[in-house]
């Protein structure tokens, strides 16, 4: 596996003049179609001005890219969740046996965008919640659909929304998204941050991820912001 990863890194470095991580280099797949779904009937009630949510939905490049274009999002960081701190490196996570999922930690202002709205975008645009342990061309538990809930309220809202969507048959297959307890989030390596914005012509991004941003703009025009909130600009 490590020899394969080294070969992938060499090929991708030639294409992007950088060292790239676990998202598939060979099978480019195709963009998932966004799905028009109802917003959650249950949402958070808070006076807080800052909160965080952690979502996993396949390669973190696209998930991060989507949430960086959502009004009210202060930061969206690519990283790993679900496993231990000492295995939160892309070579280890790519083996698929660490418990980690490629994830994105979203910091947002609840007065501008609610947790329920983030869930609405996550299920509709950011990924396909009916794919088990894969997302598009990428396969393995590290690409699973998962929400790492950080509070009892988040757990209740997410659970209710999944039940709502399944009851309405919003998708042609059952939702397989797991609700997992939050036990830490570990930011990914520097080269994975802001990847969609920095490499808009990279074939994987063109085929799999730029359409998600376009679908966000089309389906959620009131939530879309043209200028993304970038990790590296906030440092």
CATH architecture of 47-234: 2-Layer Sandwich (3.30)
* 3-class secondary-structure state, position 103: strand
Note the maximum CA span of the chain.
51
Q: Locate all alpha helices (DSSP H) within 68-151, ordered by sequence.
A: 90-93, 115-121
pLDDT tens-digit series, residues 97-132: 999 999 999 999 999 999 999 999 999 999 999 999
Residues in the chain: 235
d(CA 147, CA 122): 10
pLDDT tens-digit series, residues 143-193: 999 999 999 999 999 999 999 999 999 999 999 999 999 999 999 999 999
- Helix 210-219 with 60-67: angle, nearest 10 deg: 30
Q: Assign residue 149 a region: left if phi > 0, alpha if psi is -120 to 50, beta otherwise? A: beta
* CB 74 within 8 Å of CB 50: yes
Q: What is the pLDDT of residue 16?
A: 41
**More confident position, 12 or 118:** 118
pLDDT band with cut points at 50, 70 and 90 for residue 28: low
pLDDT band with cut points at 50, 70 and 90 for residue 90: very high
* Alpha carbon 217 to chain centroid, angstroms: 17
* CB 173 within 8 Å of CB 5: no
d(CA 158, CA 169): 16
Strands 178-181 and 145-149: parallel
Q: What is the pLDDT of residue 24?
A: 60
CB atoms within 10 A of CB 28: 14
Domain locations along the chain: 47-234
List, by residue number, the catalytic residues. Answer: 59
For residue 234 the two structure tokens come to 């906030």
Which residues lie closer than 8 Å to 70 by C-beta, 6 or more apart?
A: 108, 113, 118, 121, 216, 220, 223, 224, 225
pTM of model > 0.85: yes
d(CA 146, CA 55): 6
pLDDT at 1 over 80: no
Q: Dihedral sign, CA of 85, 89, 90, 93?
A: negative
* CB 62 within 8 Å of CB 212: yes
């Amino acid at each position: 596996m490590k020899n394969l990863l080294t070969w992938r890194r060499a090929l991708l470095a030639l294409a992007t003049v950088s060292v790239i991580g676990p998202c598939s280099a060979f099978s480019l797949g195709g963009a998932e179609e966004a799905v028009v779904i109802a917003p959650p009937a249950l949402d958070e009630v808070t006076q807080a001005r800052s909160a965080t949510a952690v979502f996993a939905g396949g390669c973190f490049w696209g998930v991060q890219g989507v949430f960086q274009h959502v009004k009210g999002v202060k930061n969206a960081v690519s990283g790993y969740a679900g496993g231990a701190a000492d295995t939160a490196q892309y070579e280890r996570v790519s083996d698929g046996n660490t418990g980690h999922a490629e994830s994105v930690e979203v910091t947002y202002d609840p007065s501008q965008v609610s947790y329920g709205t983030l869930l609405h975008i996550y299920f509709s645009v950011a990924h396909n919640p009916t794919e088990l342990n894969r997302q598009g061309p990428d396969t393995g538990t590290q690409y699973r659909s998962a929400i790492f809930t950080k509070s009892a309220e988040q757990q209740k809202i997410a659970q209710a929304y999944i039940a709502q969507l399944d009851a309405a048959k919003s998708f042609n297959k059952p939702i397989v998204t797991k609700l997992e307890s939050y036990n830490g989030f570990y930011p990914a390596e520097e080269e994975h941050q802001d990847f969609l914005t920095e490499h808009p012509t990279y074939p994987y991004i063109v085929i799999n991820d730029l359409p998600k941003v376009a679908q966000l703009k089309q389906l959620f025009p009131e939530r879309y912001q043209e200028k993304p909130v970038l990790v590296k600009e906030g440092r």
